[in-house]
Amino acid sequence: MFAVVLVVFVLFCKTRKNGEWLRIMGLGICAVGGSEVEGKYENEPASSIYEVEAVLGGIAKLPCDIDPSVAGDKMHIVVWFKEKDNGRTPIYTIDAREKPLEQGKRWVAENYLGIERAFFRVQDHPAKLTLDNVNDSDAGVYYCRVDFRQTPTRNVKVILNIIGTW
């Protein structure tokens, strides 16, 4: 199993100028492999549940609300998971902590989605993970986890059904 772990850290250091303590907070993301890894995200309830249908060979659009509920807040990281027999597997991430959202750093699990099939459309409302050329193996349960600077973490559950040709 492969997991993406979100790490929050606080660092205290003295400034050179006046000797006062300065608190630096950070947010990091790291990948962890191994069968014993189970993250907190496995048990977090979904704040919204969607059921989406896509035609075999067409485009699936999986919604995820990334708008913060706290005024002036900003989305930092989105992690998409697909539910498998052994838990949730990360399949797509976008990290916009140090950049405008549209320029966020993206990662795609090529073994599940391929390099050119998935893209997170942040300009849509709600934002959507689009999957091109969907196939039967794309059907299933997906989770979108959104971490903000201040707004509480949001978890969205999306059930994708694939409609085949007759």
Distance (Å, whole) CA 49 – CA 117: 23
In a domain, 17, yes or no: no
Quickly tell me which residue has 């050179």 as its tokens: 16
Let me know the angle formed at the C-alpha of 157 by 58 and 37, rounded to the nearest 5 degrees: 110
In a domain, 37, yes or no: no
In a domain, 40, yes or no: no
In a domain, 16, yes or no: no
8 A C-beta contact, residue 93 and residue 165: no
CATH number at residue 144: 2.60.40.10
In a domain, 33, yes or no: no
pLDDT of residue 113: 79
Q: Which amino acid is at 150?
A: Q
Residue 110 per-residue DSSP state: H
In a domain, 19, yes or no: no
In a domain, 54, yes or no: yes
pLDDT at 69 over 80: yes
Domain that holds residue 91: 46-163
Domain tally, the chain? 1
pLDDT of residue 25: 45
Residues 6+ apart with CB under 8 A from 33: 1, 2, 3
Mean pLDDT of 55-69: 94
In a domain, 4, yes or no: no
Q: How far is CA 63 from CA 4, 69, 121, in A?
A: 21, 17, 9
Q: pTM of this prediction?
A: 0.71
